[in-house]
Structure 1
């Protein structure tokens, strides 16, 4: 949830008088794509120019990040609205942002480690910050190895969570969110993110003896992209890889390239990690975009999906099976069952209502599919009130 700050008090000229005003402030992050010639010192100078004029626009520059390699800068600013930030930058130096999003400062700190300027590294007039906001994002999900329904995962996972948290912390991972059986973690180092993924796999294999299974998705990116929330695109692909791609640990092509550039032993030599190619990532996103939009539509046909993705029916089958281990029809059925399970856990209706809501033609067919997938009937899960993840 976004955090609205205290009202900002200021004055503006009105005729021959000054008028007091009060506006509710919010925190924003903007993105600047800078030229190849731009240096960290140049960005620090631009930041100082912002600070000189910020009061005229009701803004307060909190800090910034600069990535010399990728030529991007991200400013964290308290302001009444996005337009005030745009006008402040334009007035100060003309370097206007390419994108502005509203953010929660607590979430920013969880991902990036700070919301204020770091201390000066040297005794200079400028506080030159050459620190990328680029992060490797991990989505880790744990679930029971058996299909037995249960009211809570906490008793089952309790013995494993603390060691996993300790591993993540030692690897420099900032835990942004931890729910029952689910972690969202931010890493500065792609190598450490990959290495701790392997450590978690080894630990669970040796200690849980199949009682707990896991999936990990690793992606990498910047906090402000095309969508509206922090690291949204990066989190989405990590979530999707973790959700549907066959394999315990799945990584994007960018994570692989970064890891290979930092290590003599490339990821191709590590059999337990699945590396997606860029075309496969594009297909995954297009496939799930269509599925999320149309999964309730019982009239939707496989040919409609193939047409939407711009491929033949046979190529669609090959691609989906390669990606998920399931045919398109079986994948859609499993997707609907997972959505039904979520509704059952929320007590969002009786079994017949949930069967209808999730696109199954009858309660009996729904119950049959559900039991085949999870090992118990919807009515058993319904009585417990919540089931497995």
Structure 2
């Protein structure tokens, strides 16, 4: 049967109350062919997360309703490998509550680090797409620091992005800072006469299932990737919540190479990416229209975005489109002109010029192996 996780928003919940509710679920689970496996309780946030096998989501809803008279906030189907990557090996007490190695309750929240890193080539001849990659040294260094800090690589989603998950905020921040220091101090070693690279990092706090998620940690993954795009080259972007939950994090975050995003700016970033992603193919999507949708003047939008990322709205939107372009070239399903139009460029020549300025080579000179 499929594996699912659900979430319950229960302010003020205590662990002993969750234990009683879980036992009630177990008592009626067979009626709907559901098998509850484990659960997490986060008393501070008032969240409870359950892991179970079931024939479908409706069976889970009915079981919770019959056992405890409660509705679930959201239910997502979980792929086993992805679950293990995020949550690690479960340690459960006798009542199926997930605990850490010291026997303390595991609140279910995880700390996500996304590393965006891309190469710029000085080669002018035709190159294979596989050559438009980074040297292995920086990727190997990143993996080494992730493992050193007890992190787990969730998935290298593409050649230029690494996502890692940690169980504590301190280990997440320390890992990011070690990667940053290594990259900045040895970047010359990682380049040759043809190569250079840039990098950014975004960190965030994630709950397994949020109310709008379609997969586990979807909201957190989106946020950490957005923070990468907001960050200046070589910088780490961290939401202020890290500072609020840990004295050590507060100390570690007080450095020039780290940008802290407060709660009002987090809302701005959410709206910004929502509007950009909805209009990524729209040739008529201008900064004036973006400003209007954000309910800001053009000058206000410029100041707000520039203060975060040291870039203009025009350049910011263009860079997002160019990152999509690189992946579309790899897929080989569209011509260069079609990619340009697909990503909102009205002129393929202008698209090619922008692409070359960012990656150092014209898109037409990238060959993709069949």
- Assess same fold via TM > 0.5: yes
Displaced runs of 4 or more, over 6 A: none
Distance 1:108 1:329 in 2: 38
Q: Which residue in 2 is equivalent to 1:303?
A: 288
Distance 2:285 2:329 in 1: 24
Distance 1:377 1:146 in 2: 10
Q: How does 1:1-389 map to 2 (within 5 A)?
A: 5=1, 26-36=2-12, 38-114=13-89, 118-120=91-93, 126=95, 128-129=97-98, 130-144=105-119, 146-148=121-123, 151-152=129-130, 156-179=134-157, 180-209=159-188, 211=191, 212-227=197-212, 228-247=214-233, 248-259=235-246, 261-263=247-249, 265=251, 267=253, 269-381=254-366, 384-385=367-368
SS of the equivalent of 2:22 reads helix
Which sections of structure 1, spanning at least 5 residues, go unmatched? 6-25
8 A contact 1:139–1:185 mirrored in 2:
yes
Distance 1:155 1:302 in 2: 32
By how many angstroms is 1:266 displaced? Answer: 5.2
Distance 2:40 2:132 in 1: 38
Q: Which residue in 2 is equivalent to 1:8?
A: none
Which sections of structure 2, spanning at least 5 residues, go unmatched? 99-104, 192-196
SS of the equivalent of 2:53 reads strand
Q: Which residue in 2 is equivalent to 1:13?
A: none
- Please identify the structure whose Cα radius of gyration is greater: 1
Change (3 A) 1:31 1:362: closer
**Greater relative contact order structure (CA < 8 Å, 6+ sep):** 2
TM-score by length of 1: 0.82
Write the deviation string for residues 318-349 of structure 1: whole angstroms up to 9, x where unpaired.
12222332222232333333333322222233
Report which stretch shifted further, 326-335 or 223-232: 326-335
RMSD, aligned CA: 2.4
Distance 1:145 1:364 in 2: 20
Distance 2:348 2:185 in 1: 41
Write the deviation string for residues 47-89 of structure 1: whole angstroms up to 9, x where unpaired.
1221121111110001111112222110011112222112212
Change (3 A) 1:318 1:160: closer
By how many angstroms is 1:133 displaced? Answer: 0.5
Write the deviation string for residues 215-240 of structure 1: whole angstroms up to 9, x where unpaired.
21100021111222111111101011
